A and B are shown apart, each in its own frame.
Chain A
């Protein structure tokens, strides 16, 4: 997990607003949902960047933007220096060979009418030049073996596998084109507790073996902590804190990060009566009507007048490059 490689994925000022409209015949715009609202970060070769945040913070939209499954309202996504947000057709297909994803739900992410061999081999059907036809079955079996499945099971259907095994199938499909970047969108949250660790271990082993860079999106901080070199914390479409795993988790500097960390239940009952915990009041505001200034101010115990007037920028406030978007660090 070397975090010193050259940048492989550069995201700058990424914005995605979904229009909200009303009416059937004459549609008129009544507003927009600011799902992702100005996100910038860099991912280096072989590195894992964790993105944490709660539901509605825009992390899944971010994943789709990185995969070029949605077109951003503005901003740029560069892979190896090449802009992908405006790529189309053959160029876009070329881009996709280098960035793949692992999805959350192993029950809905595999086509129930296709055999596991067809699912894992589909990338070769789409990108025909990657592997010659007669080699494909062998390649698929190799991939199944790599992810810890029995290669003789190529002709089975997804419903004959357990949740954890299905997730392995999804990972094999993501690996088929030998991408350099894999976007993991909540890859373990749908799995049974006793299976989560297996899949986390598999992802880490594959990273070492193939030099993959991960963007690891999840809501479970303990898993994100375990796999990530750096962590970004998202709130209402924006990154509020970005730094090394150690900086963000040991020296959280944004009030939201502090609250998030303290809300995670510790799997140890010792000292639970005296454990301090920041319990945030209320729910996150709607991304359709974000608060002015700092978006967290409506739930923040440090908020003052300046927070409503001025939006704090995400900037390095420590020598380590640990960036925080708060007026009071």
Chain B
């Protein structure tokens, strides 16, 4: 079951027009203490125009997978021993670096959490946005500036024509994130990867940025992978969700179905531990224990030490991704019990 193709696993027609599929991806880091399997057989797909949320906490491998898609894992300590990342059917991992560079930025773009350190402090934002056009489209300086102002207008930066001569530190956090988004969408990518785009921002600014992203997607029809740890943000904007834990996908489903009835104990635990009005004054049903040690992943299901549904076989057998619905799967041997919510 592990090695079956993503399309089959997601219950879709093989050869259907997936925009991007990640299949059996593994990423390893060499550290002083040993090899860390940061991503351990991850598969998911995203269709054109869709918003896919990848939910997980730090160390779950959600960001590393995204970096693998972007081709940003090019240091000697990283290895990708297995897996494919197909974009329109072409395996990105098999491409030469200059072919990848042509896709990166132009067809797949990325927005990072920390906009301040992702922008170059010594160039004006106009020059940095214009750079995208000068490098990729060979426009003149004047023409590139004109397009930069257009883009800054499009991401709702007030007085764009003047502010393009300002430096990144002269903008607020929310405005900087808009500049990052402007650079990401400059060349009209088909896929935008947003890695925790609002985590560093205040809630009122977060609402502005999420609205902006939604609007841009409506206009351009681009697909988005939204990497986040925030169940609220996912509920607000995603079509489908992939939940990651310990370097693996534990649940994948349409967003409405997950919130109604989660089919993996981890997802269930996360949803239950959110403070809600009805739980006021009572202890939150928290997931016990701590996230797994990436150097010493638990045997079998990596969630088993923290799981309230655990049985003996969870310690020994890693669960496959059981198909539990037309577009749903869960990597839990006891997904039926979880779905029924029938444990004491």
Q: Do chains A and B touch in the complex (CB under 8 A)?
A: yes
B211 at interface, CB cutoff 8 A = yes
Which secondary structure dominates chain B's binding surface? helix
Q: Which residues of chain B are near A204, meaning CB under 8 Å?
A: 283
A198 at interface, CB cutoff 8 A = yes
| Among B233, B259, B276, B290, contact of A162 (Cβ-Cβ < 8 Å) | B290
CB closest residue in chain B, given A52:
B203
B271 at interface, CB cutoff 8 A = yes
Max chain B C-beta neighbours (<10 A), residue from A223, A267, A283: A267
Chain A residues 185 to 225 lying within 8 A of chain B, measured CB to CB, are: 192-198, 200-201, 204-205, 219, 221-223, 225
Compute how far the CA of A279 lies from the CA of B230 in the bound complex, rounded to whole angstroms.
19
Contact B280 A263 (CB under 8 A): no
Contact B283 A279 (CB under 8 A): no
Max chain A C-beta neighbours (<10 A), residue from B174, B207, B281: B207
Contact B204 A260 (CB under 8 A): yes
Contact A55 B207, CB 8 Å, known A196-B273, A201-B286, A269-B255: no
Contact A162 B291 (CB under 8 A): yes
| Among B57, B173, B175, B274, contact of A267 (Cβ-Cβ < 8 Å) | B274
| Among B174, B270, B279, contact of A194 (Cβ-Cβ < 8 Å) | B270
CB closest residue in chain B, given A259:
B204
A114 at interface, CB cutoff 8 A = no
Contact B275 A263 (CB under 8 A): no
Chain B residues 202 to 237 lying within 8 A of chain A, measured CB to CB, are: 202-208, 210-211, 229-236
B269 at interface, CB cutoff 8 A = yes
Contact A226 B275 (CB under 8 A): yes
Instruction: Write out, one digit per residue, whether chain A residues 52-92 have a CB within 8 A of any chain B CB (1) or not (0).
Output: 00110000000000000000000000000000000000000
Contact B207 A263 (CB under 8 A): yes
Contact B284 A200 (CB under 8 A): yes
Contact B235 A283 (CB under 8 A): no
Q: Which residues of chain A are near B281, meaning CB under 8 Å?
A: 1
| Contact-size category for A | 35 or more
Contact B207 A226 (CB under 8 A): no
Shortest distance between the CB of A244 and any CB in chain B (Å): 12
CB closest residue in chain A, given B288:
A198
Contact A197 B284 (CB under 8 A): yes
A164 at interface, CB cutoff 8 A = yes
B287 at interface, CB cutoff 8 A = yes
Q: Which residues of chain A are near B256, meaning CB under 8 Å?
A: 269-270
Q: Which residues of chain A are near B229, meaning CB under 8 Å?
A: 192-193
Contact A269 B235 (CB under 8 A): yes
Q: Which residues of chain A are near B207, meaning CB under 8 Å?
A: 262-263, 265, 277, 279-280
Chain A residues 218 to 263 lying within 8 A of chain B, measured CB to CB, are: 219, 221-223, 225-226, 245, 259-260, 262-263
| Among A54, A245, A266, contact of B232 (Cβ-Cβ < 8 Å) | A266
Contact B279 A226 (CB under 8 A): yes
Shortest distance between the CB of B305 and any CB in chain A (Å): 12
Contact B273 A192 (CB under 8 A): no
Instruction: Write out, one digit per residue, whether chain A residues 265-305 have a CB within 8 A of any chain B CB (1) or not (0).
Output: 11111101000010111110000000000000000000000
A264 at interface, CB cutoff 8 A = yes
Contact A165 B204 (CB under 8 A): no
CB closest residue in chain B, given A198:
B286
Q: Which residues of chain A are near B210, meaning CB under 8 Å?
A: 265
Q: Which residues of chain A are near B58, meaning CB under 8 Å?
A: 192
| Among B57, B204, B231, B270, contact of A263 (Cβ-Cβ < 8 Å) | B204
CB closest residue in chain B, given A299:
B204
| Among B203, B230, B236, B270, contact of A219 (Cβ-Cβ < 8 Å) | B203
Shortest distance between the CB of A197 and any CB in chain B (Å): 4
Contact B172 A225 (CB under 8 A): no
Contact A264 B232 (CB under 8 A): yes
B121 at interface, CB cutoff 8 A = no
Compute how far the CA of A323 lies from the CA of B256 in the bound complex, rounded to whole angstroms.
39
Compute how far the CA of A270 lies from the CA of B276 in the bound complex, rounded to whole angstroms.
16
Contact A54 B175, CB 8 Å, known A201-B283, A223-B275, A267-B274: no
Contact A269 B274 (CB under 8 A): no
Compute how far the CA of A117 lies from the CA of B281 in the bound complex, rounded to whole angstroms.
32
B285 at interface, CB cutoff 8 A = yes
Shortest distance between the CB of B240 and any CB in chain A (Å): 11
Contact A267 B231 (CB under 8 A): yes
Compute how far the CA of A55 lies from the CA of B173 in the bound complex, rounded to whole angstroms.
10
Contact A269 B259, CB 8 Å, known A223-B275, A279-B211: yes
Given contacts A196-B273, A265-B207, A265-B233, 8 further A-B contacts (CB under 8 A): A55-B202, A226-B284, A263-B203, A264-B203, A269-B259, A270-B256, A279-B208, A280-B208
In the complex, 20 of the A-B residue pairs with CB atoms within 8 angstroms, ordered by the A residue number, are A1-B281, A54-B204, A193-B231, A194-B269, A195-B291, A197-B274, A197-B284, A204-B283, A205-B283, A219-B202, A219-B203, A222-B232, A222-B275, A226-B280, A260-B203, A263-B204, A266-B235, A267-B234, A267-B259, A267-B274
Binding site for B on A (CB under 8 A): 1, 54-55, 162, 164-165, 192-198, 200-201, 204-205, 219, 221-223, 225-226, 245, 259-260, 262-270, 272, 277, 279-283
Binding site for A on B (CB under 8 A): 57-58, 158, 172-175, 202-208, 210-211, 229-236, 238, 255-256, 259, 266, 269-271, 273-277, 279-281, 283-288, 290-291, 306
Sorted nearest first, the 10 A-B pairs with minimum C-beta distance are A265-B232, A226-B275, A197-B286, A197-B273, A54-B202, A192-B57, A263-B207, A197-B284, A267-B231, A283-B172
